[in-house]
Amino acid sequence: MAEYWQESPPILREFLNYHESILSHSAKTVDEYFLDLRAFFRYLKLQKDPSLAQVPFQEISILDVDLDFVSHIQLSEIYGFLTFLSGGAKAGKAESSTRARKCASIRSFYQYLCIHAHQMENDPTLALNNPKMRKTLPRYLSLTESLQLLESVSGPNEQRDYCILTLFLNCGLRVGELVGLNVQDIREDTVRVLGKGNKERQLYLNEACLDAIQAYLLVRPEPKDELRHRDALFVSRNKTRLTTRAVENIVQKAVRQAGLDPKYSPHKLRHTAATLMLNNGVDIRTLQDVLGHENLGTTQIYTHISDANMKQAVDANPLARIKKKDS
């Protein structure tokens, strides 16, 4: 059981356990549910007991929150919480995406109580509207920048780091999926990937990926003979499975060496792979399968990138600013 559950009342622990054990959500997802709902309950307690205004927001205990407490929450109080997040002095101003996530956590919590646990009949979130989010397109590298990144790789772990970047840019893996790869997941020209919710998908490896993997396996150090490390595809200098943080550092180093924007992360390389595939003829549903998106709507953001590229192409035409002269 995660340590933070000690800060949770039984009604919240049951909800977290449902998402972890039944829905097989990742530890990161469950942790976000906890943090979102803890903030929500703290706000509600603060509103119901003005004396708590003397207590730092982060120190308000929620251990006494129970079914009676959550069943009397009104929709107006949920909106009050979202307003509080928009500029509350104690909580700090939250981005619209953060408020939307907290909104989704609250909705999921009440759906669990009403539909799955059958502990409540009336769901106060049924009429809850999500905060309006500012639409932003994912950042990604151009083809030229991608080649520049690959060509910049050097150092004592050159084959490993090159292989990692190649898989990111060709397969669009999540960083968690990459560090979870085992040697036996590589089978001829395919790789078995364990994605979100422990859902497996099989990806085909192109020539660049196969060459990079073969070159790396020739120099791959023998990992520690421990269950967590012994089958790892990507191994650190300490002979342990690479962590997500280590991979982020590898990407950051390569980005700096290539002279690119230092803000590029493994996730932006995933965006790059998706954009390059879509712009070169891959249909949206195939891209959904490659990326492991559960919903097509998540993948469709890349169509906006494609539209933007097409607009840029038309605007770049040397005739773009030529207008008919008056007779």
Selected catalytic residue, list 196, 224, 239, 253? 196
> CA angle, corner 108, sides to 104 and 110, nearest 5?
120
**Integer Cα distance of 241 and 232 in angstroms:** 5
Bridge partners, residue 204, by sequence? 190
**Integer Cα distance of 191 and 216 in angstroms:** 15
Yes or no: say if 143 and 185 are a contact pair by the CB < 8 Å rule: no
Instruction: Tell how far CA 22 is from the center of its chain.
Output: 21
Task: Confirm whether 196 is a catalytic residue.
Answer: yes
Task: Confirm whether 271 is a catalytic residue.
Answer: no
Selected catalytic residue, list 45, 139, 253, 293? 293
Residue 135 token pair: 């639409």
Residue 150 token pair: 């690959």
Yes or no: say if 31 and 87 are a contact pair by the CB < 8 Å rule: no
Q: What are phi and psi of 158, to 5 degrees?
A: -60, -45
Task: Confirm whether 230 is a catalytic residue.
Answer: no
Task: Confirm whether 174 is a catalytic residue.
Answer: yes
Selected catalytic residue, list 101, 174, 241, 271? 174
**Integer Cα distance of 35 and 41 in angstroms:** 10
Task: Confirm whether 324 is a catalytic residue.
Answer: no
Selected catalytic residue, list 192, 229, 267, 268? 267
Neighbours of 266 (CB within 10 A): 21
> CA angle, corner 51, sides to 46 and 55, nearest 5?
70
Selected catalytic residue, list 19, 42, 270, 271? 270
**Integer Cα distance of 180 and 20 in angstroms:** 18
Query: What residues have CB less than 8 Å from 240, skipping those under 6 apart?
Result: 223, 224, 228, 229, 232
Q: Which residues are catalytic?
A: 174, 196, 267, 270, 293, 302
